[in-house]
Structure 1
Amino acid sequence: MSKCSEADCAPLLCSSSVHRYLHCIDISRMSDRCSASTMANCNDLAEGTYKNLKERPEGKVEGIYAFKEGKQVIYVGRANDIGRRLQEHCTGNQDIDKHIRETAPGAVKYNCVPDPRQACNEHCYVDGIAKRQGQERPKFNKQKGDSCPAKGQCKRK
């Protein structure tokens, strides 16, 4: 992270709404496949309102979701149906699933953003949030997320 002024932050994501122009992340170093709208959604995902897992989205929402514990995003995922995927996390066998079950109710919260290209953009969100937190990736993300090469086929990084 670098120190920067308000004027310097036009191409940057800032790590805190409280210190909006004090700690910024240069998104130009992120993958060139991450569009400006995807990076804006990443900012909304990180800074938005996190909800209790019992408050699932209504209807089928395709996009990216994140789990936060305290002030840290601990997992970023993608789904064709976020509500269904959140339910699966409550009963699954991934490390994040076990952590959710073993943590006090309400301690892990989620936020989500709609993204019809979630299968190709997941890596942008994982990278963006990890960089905001000064990490390689969130605690429970074992991989950097899916992306799409030129032909549009998604691949796991």
Structure 2
Amino acid sequence: MSDDRAPRPTPTSTAEGFPEPAELTALGVGRLPGLLGIEVTAVAAGRIEAQMEVTPAVLAPNGYLHAASVVALADTACGLGCRLALPPGASGFTTMEQKTSYLGTARAGTVRTDAVLVHGGSRTQVWDAEVFDGAGKRIALFRCTQLVLWP
């Protein structure tokens, strides 16, 4: 995980062979990511960026961003990244473990995540994601371990 103020490399277009962000966003239509308004904004090898508008639908009853909304944003980015990073011949993946540490919250604006592959093995993948509020303040750290499935 990086420092809040450290410059972050931001992919602006997909590398050859990667789907466009809109194609990955479309996978969520009619499913939880689509219902929450999660949009993929950048795709690169071992990295996915996504964002979500803070609307009443993603808030908790207290008016703050619901913890599950933060997890859904980070987990969606990590899951899409895992899908793109599967080894040849793998049939899919499933989540083995995930952890989220909350450092802040949001009540309005857009929250974004930057998911990065930290381990890409033949049996597991580990992804880290940071979630930021509209001002660029880090509000959550997320890590998940994915089990690679084979036919």
TM-score scaled to structure 1, two decimals?
0.27
Greater helix share, structure number? 1
Choose between structure 1 and 2: higher strand proportion. Answer: 2
Query: TM (normalized to structure 2)?
Result: 0.28
